Structure 1
Amino acid sequence: MPSDRADRLAAHARARHQQTLQRAETTLADMVKDGEPVTISRLASKAAVSRAWIYTQPDLRAQIEQLQQHPQRQSVSRDSTSVNRATTESLRRRLTLALETLTQLRAENQQLRQDLARVHGQLRQAKTQSAPPPEAIQAPF
């Protein structure tokens, strides 16, 4: 590979690295500004970079660790996600509905098994009644 081409590839790789680093730092700043909990996984997802890449960036990791050690800098607490959690009563209602559905499906399943057994019996009876007696069967040869 000519030296000129290698130099251009190296320059492109450096520029791409800087763009990625800038995107991750901007995303981290936005997360802090919005009061989101900062984790490596969240940052990787929001910045569209891999977690492995973040682990190779010592300055970025240091910023994340500092934010994790001092959560009071983040304006929204970690308990803010509890707003979306289901209440105990709604969970009980869902469980009750699930049990009712299960009971109904079991009864329906039992009825279908009985119907199937009845039809199998009728089919067996029809085959034995319509079959010619054994002595009337002629050999094909």
Structure 2
Amino acid sequence: MRADNTQHLITAAKHRHELTRAKTIRALRELDDVGTAVTFETVARKALVSRPWLYTQPDIRAEIGRLRGLDRQKAEPSIPSRQRSSDPSLRRRLESANSRNRELAEENTRLRRQLAEALGRLRTAGLHDLDGPAPDPVPTRRSSVSIGPR
């Protein structure tokens, strides 16, 4: 009578199953990191496994579904999930931008007020032509200059 080798076969099958799962999870991560669209087809091709096998693995199937949902929600190029901004982070950036806008608006108001005051002082000083050079308080006579070859 032959020896019972079923335990060795079971152990080998479990080992092969775990290797296949690890290879599939690694493929999922690589596809997501690169920004490639994650579908059952791309994962199966990358991991060298069959699509039907992917459907029998609940956790892998759920992760593919989650990543597919993220891909459908965005129109811009794919960004790996670990690099995507969180909602609290985006809110903080928006608050910061709004705060900076308020500061700049206040600075504009202050600078316009200062400019108006400076223009008012120039007008009261009698300098009405603000576009041209300031008039000389004491006119000086300039020497004549000849234009021509030297």
Normalising by structure 1, what TM-score? 0.50
Normalising by structure 2, what TM-score? 0.47
User: Highest Rg: 1 or 2?
Assistant: 2
